[in-house]
Structure 1
Amino acid sequence: MVPLHLGALHPIEQALTVVLAFGPFVVLGIVVAVMRRREALHGHDEHRGQD
């Protein structure tokens, strides 16, 4: 069975594909940046590395 190609994606579909593909990584980066900033402000860095 040969897969059928449905043609080019509509611009909205392209944008949705990009958001779904890269959006979680952008959100993760924002969360990491916010948490690092919060730890730096509250002085919790001294607890790091004491396993």
Structure 2
Amino acid sequence: MTAAVLPLHMGALHPYEQALTLLLAFGPFVVLGVVLRRRSKELAAEEAGRTAPGPRVDEDAQA
């Protein structure tokens, strides 16, 4: 009986409150998934040698 009542302990949420709760609960995992996917694509491109060259460092100007 208490298991059925437990989700209602705060009362009903408004739709925007439900959306905010879901965003706060699952948003970080979505961001993490996007970052990991992008990083894996960058690593695959780097391994294949298809990355754009980075900025050139002029060693004479450093001295």
Q: Same fold (TM over 0.5)?
A: yes
The residue type equivalent to 1:11 in the other structure is: P
Q: Partners in 1 of 2:10 and 2:43 — Cα distance? A: 49
**What TM-score do the two structures reach when normalised by structure 1?**
0.71
Corresponding position of 2:16: 12
- Given the alignment of the two structures, is residue 34 of structure 1 paired with residue 61 of structure 2, yes or no? no
**What TM-score do the two structures reach when normalised by structure 2?**
0.58
User: Segments of 4+ in structure 1 off by > 2 A?
Assistant: none
Gaps of 5+ in 1: 45-51
- Given the alignment of the two structures, is residue 24 of structure 1 paired with residue 22 of structure 2, yes or no? no
The residue type equivalent to 2:40 in the other structure is: R
Q: How many residues of Structure 1 are paired with residues of Structure 2 in the alignment? A: 40
| Cα-Cα RMSD | 1.5
